[in-house]
Structure 1
Amino acid sequence: MLTTTVLTAALTDASLPLLAGGPLPALGPDFLDPDHLISSFGTAVVVGVVAVVFIETGLLFPFLPGDSLLFTAGALVAQDKFPVHINIYVLCLMLFAAAFLGDQLAYVIGRRLGPKVFSRPDSRFFKQKYIDQTYAYFDKYGGRTIIVARFVPFVRTYAPVAAGVGKMNYRHFVSYNVVGALLWGVGVTLLGYWLGNFTFIKNNIEALLILIVGVSVLPVALELWRARRKESTGETVEGRDTDYDEPAERAAVEREVFGAASTAPVPGQAGTQVVEDGGEPEPEPQR
């Protein structure tokens, strides 16, 4: 309720300058405003946009405007308001490469560093609850999470890392990665380009950008609301999904989705017992 109220107030306040003919403010920090980012890149805008997509998907930095940046770039190209002239299909090809290679790098990071990459304590840019959400998506969608995650903030950053940590079959990962990069990197950009050709959109591009930023915030707001709701009912601990916040629970998802577990059960942990001969942990007998 609080998140919805704040977001509604922000969108309302942002629309007032438009009605008055004044400049439009950005929602949140400047690095979350796609229009500001594109403008600030200047003649290096193509490199800048490609770099943002690559960093968000490949370098474990989830706080970047992925969806809204792609859509805005496509819309501005359609209206000849992009800082440099570029063919939309050339831009799409470069964004596809950035999205694909970003996930490849994230997979390698997870594969090389293993569970250590997800064992860090919470910090400003890293939260264990994001990892829990990622495992929840793998538990629900299986390997298709690599595709689905592209459209979910935070999850798209950590899903390929989790795939590497769990040693997901590389051929399967690449196939999912290609489809995801096409649907997200190319699809969202072309959607912005095609909609940008409508006269109404051309005449109201500023209002559209405000709407894009608002919509891009909604999934995050929804996740926050769901976390608070679960926490209030005792289903989570400090906003984290208790089904995926223990090594053995994550290992169970890895065995189901990837066919192997990278996270060994912890000796003495509830629900499992360690087998000395290296076999699979067996459930404790019912009492």
Structure 2
Amino acid sequence: MSLFETTEVLVFFNVLLQQLGAPVPAVPTMILSASLSAQWSGIFLLAVVATSASLIADWAWYIAGRYYGYRVLSVLCKLSINPESCVSQTESRFRVWGPWSLVVAKFIPGFSTVAPPIAGAVKMSILSFTIASALGAFLWAMAALLAGWLFKDQVNAIYAALQDNLFIVGVVAALICAFWLMWKLARRDAFQARLKLPKMPAAEVLALVKAGQSNLRLVDLRPAMVQEAEPLAG
């Protein structure tokens, strides 16, 4: 099968993998697929396919957040390039925007993956979650698909040029990604170096608490929404 015969399948699995957290961009695939479509019905079908794939991934993350709470978000943020600010930024966006955060989440890199589990952790209703998530996914997909449709001649010309110079393009893209990753990792290491403080093992803290140490004070520095969802006694 050629790309012309499998655009719907390609878009479905590309969007599904991206929304599950895999580092595979879906927007270029949707733009290219739209440029190959001959009719508006094909654009609408691709939008429905992309929305369906996104919803499947979002439901999976929602259920994980519903049953495992903020532990899911902690795991996701550990994979983030900026784990120190991941939880607080996600919590603040969800608190300010509410259900609308799920609509705009698809347009914010990284946030589209962490928003569904936080919706599950705060026990957002499945109906409200599905409506907001589907609307956001459809608008996000249509934006990319319309761009590919409106600029199909330019997209096809760029695609042909890339095929003719695939090796050079690959080398340049790899260098750009490598420099970007090195810059982000350097910023991350610098930030972590400033945060280094003496640490006490959890087992030792628990032993002091059980011993009734009167001068021991525990301060919960987790975001407010995390504290409300998973309160800690004392």
Alignment TM-score > 0.5, same fold: yes
* Native 8 Å contact 1:166 1:262 kept in 2: yes
Shift of the 133–251 alpha-carbon distance from structure 1 to 2, 3 Å rule, reads: closer
Under a length normalisation based on structure 1, what TM-score does the superposition of the two structures give? 0.53
Which residue of 1 is the match for residue 28 of structure 2?
68
Which residue in 2 is equivalent to 1:195? 151
Cα shift readout 1:209-253 (whole Å, capped 9, x = no counterpart): 97xx97xx89x94x9857755764679759xxxxxxxx9454413
The whole-number CA distance in structure 1 between the counterparts of 2:186 and 2:109 is 18
Letter in structure 2 aligned against 1:49? V
Is 1:253 equivalent to 2:220 in the alignment? no
Q: Does residue 117 of the first structure (1) align with residue 89 of the second (2)?
A: no
Amino acid in the other structure paired with 1:149: A
Name the % identity.
22
Q: Which of 96, 114, 121 is the equivalent residue of 1:165? A: 121
What is the 5 A alignment of 1:221-260? Answer: 221=180, 228-229=186-187, 232=190, 237=195, 248-254=220-226
Q: Deviations over 1:11-47 (max 9, x none)?
A: xxxxxxxxxxxxxxxxxxxxxxxxxxx96x7854422
Task: Judging by fraction of residues, say which structure has more helix.
Answer: 2
Which consecutive residues of structure 1, in runs of 5 or more, have no partner in the other structure? 1-37, 81-85, 239-246, 256-260, 266-273, 276-287
Q: Does 1:262 align with 2:229?
A: yes
Give the drift of 1:56. Answer: 2.4
CA contact (8 A) 1:251 1:262 kept: no
Range 175-184 or range 200-209, more displaced? 200-209
Between the aligned partners of 2:161 and 2:52, the Cα distance in structure 1 is: 30
Letter in 2 for 1:145: S
- How many residue pairs get aligned? The number is 198
Amino acid at match of 1:252: A
Q: 2:230 is aligned with what amino acid?
A: T
Partner secondary structure for residue 231 of structure 2: coil
Write out aligned runs for 1:141-220 (5 A): 141-143=96-98, 144-196=100-152, 198=153, 200-206=154-160
Letter of the structure 2 residue corresponding to residue 184 of structure 1: W
Partner of residue 56, structure 1:
18
2:47 maps to: 92
Quick check: 1:136 aligned with 2:103?
Answer: no
